[in-house]
């Protein structure tokens, strides 16, 4: 088991120099605040969110990610505030990230708004070498306990009740992990995000929303996530997504009440990694408190 964990760890650290390290999400359209601080308060409600993602089930040391966040508009003005927590575990590493998001929104027209956001982040990184095979691990590598690194980010978010476009950089500062003798075994590089989506009314009971997320890191292949979701009778959501040259996903969701929405996503790899795991699972719950006597007029699809 430890040998498998070591192999997973080495796979991730080998790619650290040219791949993005931000946790990935299939249902990113419901988790926008983690990648774009300008999203804070944009739903016009206090939005409480929790997600659990288990990636590559059956592969020892595979990523497990837990997310919790809350964001809200402030005092009927153009300000928004958000706080989020991410725990990301990969093999012998355990990373905790706490972020505060601030946004300011400018009305562009009766239906269109432009939001500016900034993100302040505190990161705690842990490495437990007891999870490595001692016969294969480098003896110079030692445990890391809560190594702290700060970061800042920013984003723009143009949105209406029907669609959105956003661009963001959650972390401007590149951080080296375990920088020993000028050699970093893990490097946190800058990730650039571009998102967009639009809701089409097929008829009085069916809505269709295509969406796209593009991630770019200098020296890494461009990553594109494309999805399409249908909403039926303002209650049920079904959809599919494709992560370019990586995975195919299925998504379902249910609007339990005016304020509560629950969603589930399943990924299946389209690479050779598919031979070594049984897929990835992602489940989330969102609960919102609205100002219109506690009710939302119509559920927004993003």
Query: With bands split at pLDDT 50, 70 and 90, how would you rate the model's confidence at 249?
Result: very high
Regarding predicted confidence, which is higher, 3 or 255? Answer: 255
Please compute the mean of the pLDDT values over residues 173-178 and round it to a whole number.
Answer: 71
- Is it the case that residue 104 has pLDDT exceeding 90? yes
Query: With bands split at pLDDT 50, 70 and 90, how would you rate the model's confidence at 17?
Result: very low
DSSP-derived secondary structure letter, 291: T
Give the CA angle between residues 198, 71, 289 to the nearest 5°. 85
Could you report how far apart the first and last alpha carbons of the chain are, in Å? 41
Query: With bands split at pLDDT 50, 70 and 90, how would you rate the model's confidence at 92?
Result: confident
CATH class of 24-134+145-218: mainly beta
Percentage of the residues of the chain whose pLDDT score is greater than 90: 60
Please compute the mean of the pLDDT values over residues 183-210 and round it to a whole number.
Answer: 86
CA distance 26 to 36: 16
Domain residue spans in the chain? 24-134+145-218
Please compute the mean of the pLDDT values over residues 128-148 and round it to a whole number.
Answer: 69
The maximal CA–CA distance of the chain, rounded, in angstroms, is: 65
Write down the mean pLDDT value for the chain: 85
Q: Which of 142, 126, 51 is nearest to 90 (CA)?
A: 126
For residue 288 the two structure tokens come to 């919102």
- Is it the case that residue 183 has pLDDT exceeding 70? no
Q: Which residue has the tokens 């494309």?
A: 226
**pLDDT tens digits along 28-39:** 888 899 999 999
The radius of gyration of the chain's CA atoms, rounded to the nearest angstrom, is 20
Dihedral sign from CA coordinates of 222, 269, 20, 263:
positive
Regarding predicted confidence, which is higher, 210 or 147? Answer: 210
């Amino acid at each position: 088991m430890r040998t498998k964990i070591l192999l997973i760890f080495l796979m991730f650290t080998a790619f650290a120099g040219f791949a993005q390290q931000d946790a990935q999400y299939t249902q990113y359209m419901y988790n926008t605040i983690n990648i774009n601080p300008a999203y804070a308060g944009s739903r016009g409600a206090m939005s409480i969110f929790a997600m659990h993602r288990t990636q590559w089930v059956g592969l020892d040391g595979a990523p497990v990610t837990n997310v919790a966040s809350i964001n809200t508009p402030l005092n009927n003005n153009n300000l928004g505030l958000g706080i989020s927590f991410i725990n990301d575990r990969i093999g012998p590493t355990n990373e905790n990230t706490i972020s505060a998001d601030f946004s300011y929104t400018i009305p562009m027209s009766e239906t269109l708004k432009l939001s500016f956001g900034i993100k302040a982040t505190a990161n705690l990184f842990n490495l437990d070498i007891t999870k490595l095979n001692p016969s294969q691990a480098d003896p110079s590598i030692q445990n890391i306990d809560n190594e702290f690194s700060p970061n800042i980010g920013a984003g723009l978010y143009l949105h209406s009740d029907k669609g959105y476009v956003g661009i963001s950089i959650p972390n401007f500062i590149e951080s080296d992990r375990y920088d020993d003798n000028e050699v970093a075994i893990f490097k946190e590089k800058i990730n650039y995000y571009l998102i967009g989506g639009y809701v089409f009314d097929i008829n009085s009971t069916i809505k269709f929303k295509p969406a796209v997320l593009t991630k770019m890191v200098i020296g890494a292949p461009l990553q594109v996530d494309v999805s399409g979701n249908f909403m039926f009778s303002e209650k049920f959501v079904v959809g599919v997504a494709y992560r370019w040259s990586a995975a195919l996903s299925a998504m379902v969701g249910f609007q339990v009440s005016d304020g509560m929405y629950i969603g589930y996503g399943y990924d299946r790899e389209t690479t050779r990694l598919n031979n070594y795991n049984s897929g990835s699972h992602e489940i989330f719950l969102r609960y919102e408190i609205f100002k219109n006597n506690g009710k939302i007029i119509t559920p927004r699809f993003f």
